[in-house]
């Protein structure tokens, strides 16, 4: 059986970095090298000051501290790392295509293909290639076609090992995953490769949580899991709008249905809309795959999850406009939170971006505070939409280091991320410094309604009817 001594991971992002840090932590006898084209990102992973790591995740700095320099390395020497590894994880980004056929829907696999070609070019001995990125079902076939044409007799096994970690809880999720999924060929060589990867995870994951399947089931399970999770959020968000109209409270409804063990209590928190780099991208990819097989009803069914999510973001923005007497032109509106969820500095597809865009179209002046997101990131998120010039974004949006400064003189506060610290603020002080009437639009339903109303705020909570 293949005993793995060297692992290489291509892609030092939100998945590659934490995943490999934990493998290195738990398997001190395996050398793990994480490589990336982005030299700045690698330098940040190697930064002596652990607060400067390129991503913020609770517990990550401790894991990196333990393993880095021992058996965990971050490097830009991609070829060298591929050459010495027996097992290569591909953990590069697979964004939605922005051009050509499948634009706005299909996954863009150009980075995956580049990796496969590079592995094919460099490899001199047999290797196991592991798909860690989320990929359309049957991508392993394409990777295999590229790898099988090296002409130098090197043999490759391709495994699918999708990652289920959620940002903000990545380390916890990696340390005790609900399950690890490994898909591989049903041949003898395939089984050997699967076993080699099982042996890595078995260092810390109980055997009964390591699931092995064929490659296609594994690839498709990842898209399915994200589609089901996002569907729950869109389902509860759909009910949140009905709650607001009928005087029901979505949190009470969620609690009532969540106690049914068939439904379960998790992932039923109504919000301003789901964000993150995965849900929308993976559902659109699923929709595209279904369409490409002519399964239009299947495609339309899942597309509705994204349509509902877009509606939720938009109606949150328009509720602000409507409530502020049908105009926000020239009014300061403070945003608490920009990240797509708490405990991360990731802003990809964050609802805040789209709510901000709608309000800027209404000529609002935005004041943004987020505990972890950088100023550059906020401006670049807005500029990326191309709705207006970056000069206009810079003029209309101001970013603050203090929530109290952000809210000073504002007509309204909008809560876009559920950061815990927002609950602890001196809300009386915030109120005293605002325009009156002072409005709070709680897109995460985290604040204390009684307290805020007793101070004098006009308080709107997502999913709560009056």
Query: Least distance (Å) from ligand NAD to the CB of residue 280?
Result: 11
Q: Does the annotation place 275 within a ligand binding site?
A: yes
Number of residues that bind ligand UDX (CB under 6 A): 19
With contact defined as beta carbons under 8 Å apart, do 351 and 271 qualify?
A: yes
Q: How far is the CB of 282 from ligand UDX (least distance, A)?
A: 8
**Among residues 135, 176, 171, 160, which one has the least CA distance to residue 15?**
171
- What DSSP designation does 97 have? P
Please say which residue, 156 or 316, places its beta carbon nearer to ligand NAD: 156
Residues 256-315 contacting ligand UDX, CB under 6 A? 267-269, 271, 274-276, 278-279
Flag whether 262 is marked binding: yes
Of ligand NAD, ligand UDX, none, which one does residue 60 interact with (CB within 5 to 8 Å by kind)?
none
Intra-chain end-to-end CA distance of the chain, in Å: 65
Applying CB under 6 A, which residues contact ligand NAD?
A: 10-16, 35-38, 41, 78, 91-94, 111, 114-115, 133-134, 163, 165, 167, 277-278
CB of 90 to ligand NAD, least distance (A): 9
Angle between helices 16-26 and 60-67 (to 10 degrees): 50
Beta strands in 279-338 (DSSP E): 332-336
**Residue 27 catalytic?**
no
3-class SS at 306?
helix
Closest CA to 61 of 81, 40, 44: 44
Q: Give which of ligand UDX, ligand NAD, none residue 240 binds (C-beta under 5 to 8 Å, depending on kind).
A: none
CA distance to 224, 241, 307, 327, 351, per residue, from 238 (Å):
20, 6, 11, 26, 16
How many helices (H) and strands (E) the chain has is answered by: 18, 14
R_g of the chain, CA atoms, integer Å: 24
Rank residues 2 and 169 by Cβ distance to ligand NAD and give the closer one: 169
- 44 vs 166 by CB, closer to ligand UDX: 166
DSSP 209: G
**Residue in the block written with tokens 């056929």:** 101
Residue 185 vs 249, nearer CB to ligand UDX: 249
Residue 318 · residue 361 · CB < 8 Å:
no
Residue 165 Cβ, how far from ligand NAD at the closest point, in Å? 6
> What residues from 156 to 175 belong to the interface with ligand UDX (CB under 6 A)?
163-167
Binding positions are 11-16, 36, 41, 92-96, 133-134, 163-167, 222-226, 262, 269-275, 278-281, 340-341, 348, 444
Instruction: List contacts with ligand UDX (CB under 6 A).
Output: 163-167, 226, 229, 233, 267-269, 271, 274-276, 278-279, 340-341
Name the residues annotated as catalytic: 278
């Amino acid at each position: 059986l293949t005993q793995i001594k060297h692992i290489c991971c291509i892609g030092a992002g939100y998945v590659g970095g934490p995943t490999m840090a934990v493998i290195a932590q738990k398997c001190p006898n395996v050398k793990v090298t994480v490589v990336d084209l982005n030299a700045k990102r690698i330098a940040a992973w190697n930064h002596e000051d652990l607060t400067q790591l390129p991503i913020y995740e609770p517990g990550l700095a401790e894991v990196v501290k333990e393993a880095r320099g021992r058996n965990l390395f971050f490097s830009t020497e991609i070829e060298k790392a591929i050459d010495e590894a027996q097992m290569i994880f591909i953990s590069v980004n697979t964004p939605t295509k922005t051009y050509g056929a499948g634009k706005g829907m299909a996954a863009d696999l150009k980075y995956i293909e580049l990796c496969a070609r590079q592995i094919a070019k460099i490899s001199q001995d047999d290797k196991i290639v592991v798909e860690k990125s989320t990929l359309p079902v049957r991508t392993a076939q394409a990777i295999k076609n590229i790898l099988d044409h090296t002409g130098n007799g090197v043999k490759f096994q391709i495994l699918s090992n999708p990652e289920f970690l959620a940002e903000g809880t990545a380390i916890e999720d990696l340390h005790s995953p609900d399950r690890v999924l490994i898909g591989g060929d049903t041949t003898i060589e395939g089984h050997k490769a699967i076993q080699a990867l099982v042996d890595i995870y078995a260092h810390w994951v109980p055997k009964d949580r390591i699931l092995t399947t064929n490659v296609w089931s594994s690839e498709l399970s990842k898209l399915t899991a994200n589609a089901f999770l996002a569907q729950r959020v869109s389902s509860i968000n759909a009910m949140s709008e009905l709650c607001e109209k009928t005087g029901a409270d979505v949190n009470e409804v969620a609690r009532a249905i969540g106690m049914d063990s068939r439904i379960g209590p998790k992932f039923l928190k109504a919000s301003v809309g789901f964000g993150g780099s995965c849900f929308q991208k993976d559902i659109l990819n699923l929709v595209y795959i279904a369409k490409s097989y002519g399964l239009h009803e299947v495609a339309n069914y899942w597309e509705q999850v994204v349509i509902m999510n877009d509606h939720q973001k938009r109606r949150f923005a328009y509720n602000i406009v409507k409530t502020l007497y049908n105009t926000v032109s020239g009014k300061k509106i403070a945003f608490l939170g920009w990240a797509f969820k708490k405990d991360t500095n990731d802003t990809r597809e964050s609802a805040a971006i789209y709510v901000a865009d709608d309000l800027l179209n209404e000529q609002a002046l935005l004041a943004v505070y987020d505990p972890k997101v950088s100023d550059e990131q906020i401006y670049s998120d807005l500029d990326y939409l191309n709705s207006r010039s970056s000069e206009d974004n810079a003029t209309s949006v101001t970013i603050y280091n203090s929530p109290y400064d952000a809210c000073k003189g504002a007509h309204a506060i909008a809560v876009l991320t559920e950061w815990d610290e927002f609950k602890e603020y001196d809300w009386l002080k915030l109120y005293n410094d605002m325009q009156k009437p002072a409005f709070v639009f709680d897109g995460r339903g985290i604040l204390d309604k009684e307290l805020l109303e007793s101070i004098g705020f006009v308080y709107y909570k997502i999913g709560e009817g009056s």
